[in-house]
Structure 1
Amino acid sequence: MKLSAPIFQLKRRAKLISRDSRIPLNEVLDQIAQEEGFQRWSMLSACMAAYPQPKSLLAKLHNGDMLLFAGRPGHGKTKLGLQLLIDSINDDRRAVLFTLEFTEQQAIKHVQSLEKKAPGISDSLEIITSDEISADYIISHLSGSKPGTVAVIDYLQVLDQQRHKPPLSEQVRALDDFAKQVGVIFGFISQIDRSFDADNKALPDIHDLRLPNHVELSLFTKACFVHNGKTQFQMVA
């Protein structure tokens, strides 16, 4: 069933109406759902969840997944991560970008460059740019999140760059435990080692990750490797 607008836009409109009219949000959501042909918002949301986008990476993920986006600089790994967040918002999920690379304005600009059918989606994306981003910080921020929440971390290799933060291996294990307990999906943008040689194989793989500090690779469940416009999705564990 086609809605009059993407579900995230309907939800945002409901929040504005609730704030301006001081009507409880759940009542406004139900009213909008009725305008779309459903008795209640929960029925609308459930119906939309039953029709995942077949070409979306999101449809291949499950609650608790630990996903890698890996490639050399400029080959599209960040684009994949941001597209996952856009698809998550369109699926009425909470979507959060934790970035140690971008300013908030830079992140918004990148997201807006990917917006096509749903302009304004960047307004619904949570963008966290604190220098204190680490596993503990991320877990604290996502505390109370619903299962299916999607968070992308930009990027894996800088999580422990500051000496006062725990080793990368400890942080990834803590995030893995949290993902499984709560049902959050984590995506990690990751670098590929400079030793990767495209003349020997078309795409990098899990063994080509740049890991200056040890990480237990079996903690990751799925991965997207990109190079020269090609993308390969694969199971890791």
Structure 2
Amino acid sequence: MKLSAPIFQLKRRAKLLVRKNSVPLHEALDQIAREEGFARWSLLSSRIAAGSLSKTVLSRLNDGDLLLVAGRPGHGKTTLGLQLLLDAARDGRKAIFFTLEFTEQQARKHIRSLDEGYQDLGDALEIVTSNEISADYIIRHLSASDRGTVAVIDYLQILDQQRSKPALSDQVLALRDFARKTGVVLGFISQIDRSFDPAIRPLPDIRDIRLPNLVDLGLFTKACFLHNGEAQLQDIT
């Protein structure tokens, strides 16, 4: 979805509403966001942050990288993951979305909501929604993929939700070894812990990754953290 004006102009309109109507700035920003088709300003700003960051993230990924994309719900992590795949497809790479959260219809709808120019690529994007998604399943599915293929897994914390699947730590280790061997890039959408306090730090970091089950986060090579329209990409190893 394209905005009616650049984001700095939207902020200027919100400040005019503050002076005209004597309302708090956050209410004025939310009103502007609703006019642009978003429920609140944080969703609008997160969409813009994710969209502007995705190409930068892709350019910094090396073959065989394991990437964490982490943030609270509604702060753009799924959008960033999908836009990363769309940018990879535009770059001529194979791009696959493994999701244990969305149906294919929901995922396609999310893709169609992104900026114009992605839709043709989005229709060709491979989306896998099997309940059997796990490290072994992903490795089998990607076994014939070329180096530089990009896959995003939605999401890290539920890979081992079924008792029949291996421990999360074992799955991440297997996927790390597979990525190193084949040059496939794997991105993991990730939750962060509720203890993260944006009043103390504007962005979460590696310490805030929610880990209901033990995982060595040193297996990942890069991480991108998002919150309230801000984002930062970091090297882990």
SS in 2 for 1:153: strand
Distance in 2 of aligned mates of 1:140 and 1:222: 24
CA gap 1:54/1:166 in 2 versus in 1, 3 angstroms: closer
**What do residues 90-139 of structure 1 show as CA deviations (whole Å, max 9, x unaligned)?**
00100000000000000001111114124321222110000000000000
Q: How many pairs were matched up?
A: 185
Q: Which one-letter code corresponds to 2:172 in the other structure?
A: V
1:71·1:226 contact (CA, 8 Å) conserved in 2? yes
1:56·1:87 contact (CA, 8 Å) conserved in 2? no
Q: Which one-letter code corresponds to 2:119 in the other structure?
A: P
Structure 2 matches for 1:6-85, cutoff 5 A?
A: 55-85=55-85
Distance in 2 of aligned mates of 1:171 and 1:184: 16
**What do residues 76-96 of structure 1 show as CA deviations (whole Å, max 9, x unaligned)?**
011110010000000010000
Structure 2 matches for 1:21-170, cutoff 5 A?
A: 55-170=55-170
> Once the 2 structures are TM-superposed, how far is the Cα of residue 207 of structure 1 from its aligned partner?
0.5
- Normalising by structure 1, we get a TM-score of 0.76
- Normalising by structure 2, we get a TM-score of 0.76
Distance in 2 of aligned mates of 1:101 and 1:117: 25
Unaligned runs of 5+ in 1: 1-52
Distance in 1 of aligned mates of 2:133 and 2:54: 33
Distance in 1 of aligned mates of 2:129 and 2:64: 23
CA gap 1:122/1:139 in 2 versus in 1, 3 angstroms: same
1:220·1:236 contact (CA, 8 Å) conserved in 2? yes
SS in 2 for 1:56: helix
2:155·2:188 contact (CA, 8 Å) conserved in 1? yes
Distance in 2 of aligned mates of 1:236 and 1:138: 23
Unaligned runs of 5+ in 2: 1-52
Q: Which one-letter code corresponds to 1:232 in the other structure?
A: Q
**What do residues 22-80 of structure 1 show as CA deviations (whole Å, max 9, x unaligned)?**
xxxxxxxxxxxxxxxxxxxxxxxxxxxxxxx9943210100000000000111001111
1:70·1:192 contact (CA, 8 Å) conserved in 2? yes
1:85·1:150 contact (CA, 8 Å) conserved in 2? yes
Distance in 2 of aligned mates of 1:55 and 1:127: 20
Distance in 2 of aligned mates of 1:160 and 1:128: 17
Distance in 2 of aligned mates of 1:135 and 1:68: 16
Identical aligned residues as a percent: 65
